[in-house]
Structure 1
Amino acid sequence: MSSPAIVGFSGNITRPSKTRSFVDLIVQDIATRHGLTGRTYDIDDVGPSLGAAKWSRDLDDRGQAILTQVIAADVLVVGSPTYKGSYTGLFKHFFDLIDPSALRGKPVLLTATGGGERHALVVEHQLRPLFGFFEAFTLPTAVYA
């Protein structure tokens, strides 16, 4: 039996990325405190097949492996840099490839990064409704930096 896993997924599209570092910091802290296995991924890890994928089966092997780990995680930490008041398009596209029932009941910690106070609304106005659609259990407190 494998140990419980916490998986982070960041919507950053460039590296180095403050958002990926932020998500990974949270993942590693939770993993260490609670004896979980922790991994963090981002758009770049999924690879170039993401942009052309209409279905999850269209992802290359690496992309499918990451998608599988996100779905199988016991806890998710998701985050995106804020672009024009929302998450990145490829972040949304990645989650569009997931079956609507696959994240039902999964604990999800929402995070975001942005350039000012107004960007903090991305968590409540964009991320929470997205994961509400999946019927995931979004933790009541989100983290914005």
Structure 2
Amino acid sequence: MSPTSLRVVLLNGSPSQDSKSAALGQAVVDDVSERWPIVLTRVDVYRIGTDLTSARTRDEAGAGALRALEAVEAADLLIVATPVFRGSYPGIFKHFADLLDQYGVAGTPTLLTATGGSERHCLVIDHELRPLFAFLQAFVAPSGIYLSSDAFDGTTILDPHARTRIHVAVDDLVPLLERRLRA
């Protein structure tokens, strides 16, 4: 990794690697990579398996879960992408967050994204994700991005305003990310 590359982690909370949520997260990654050189690590919480699901505490986590947790904690930029499940994020996503070190993402620039079946879930970012990452003391971008199913064709984003919204959200973090590149 070059000293001028950002360590970007895409934390995917979807059961599927090829989901609308993952596609939205990747669109954010693409915007970031157009601005700066990056080293991307993708953490798909559902793919971690029993290394994560069998752990009640971090001390019980398997090697795969520990690598994923450490990658998130070492990120220069954390991009969170999750679907809405029954009005919130999926339980396995929350379980992963519960195993993060209490201060592991403190101060980490974090951009929140979510997808759901309709616009009625659009407040998931402010009512569910933002409080979780505020508790972890991450530096959460003021702008989050929520897209409903009608903004997609499969995993292709059709919403003509989505790219602008992503760009604005990344702009919120530019001063922090440039500071990390200089460090």
The verdict on a shared fold, with TM-score over 0.5 as the criterion, is: yes
**For residues 9-64 of structure 1, what are the alpha-carbon distances to aligned partners after superposition, in whole Å with 9 as ceiling and x for unaligned?**
01112343221222122123313421121222212332222111112232222221
**What number of residue pairs does the alignment pair up?**
145
Pairing partner for 1:89 from 83, 88, 91: 91
Structure 1, 79-88 or 28-37: larger mean CA deviation: 28-37
CA RMSD of superposed structures (Å): 1.5
Unaligned stretches of 5+ in structure 2?
A: 148-183
Cα–Cα, structure 1 residues 53 and 113, in superposed 2: closer, same or farther, change >3 Å?
Answer: same
- Residues 1:103 and 2:135 are matched in the alignment: no
Query: Quick one: which amino acid aligns to residue 39 of structure 1?
Result: T
User: Runs of 4 or more off by more than 6 Å in structure 1?
Assistant: none
**Does the residue aligned with 1:39 lie in a helix, a strand or coil?**
strand
- Residues 1:25 and 2:27 are matched in the alignment: yes
- Write the distance in 2 (CA, Å) between the matches of 1:129 and 1:20: 21
Query: Quick one: which amino acid aligns to residue 55 of structure 1?
Result: T
Q: Sequence identity, in percent?
A: 39
Query: Quick one: which amino acid aligns to residue 74 of structure 2?
Result: A
Match runs of 1:122-133 below 5 Å? 122-133=124-135
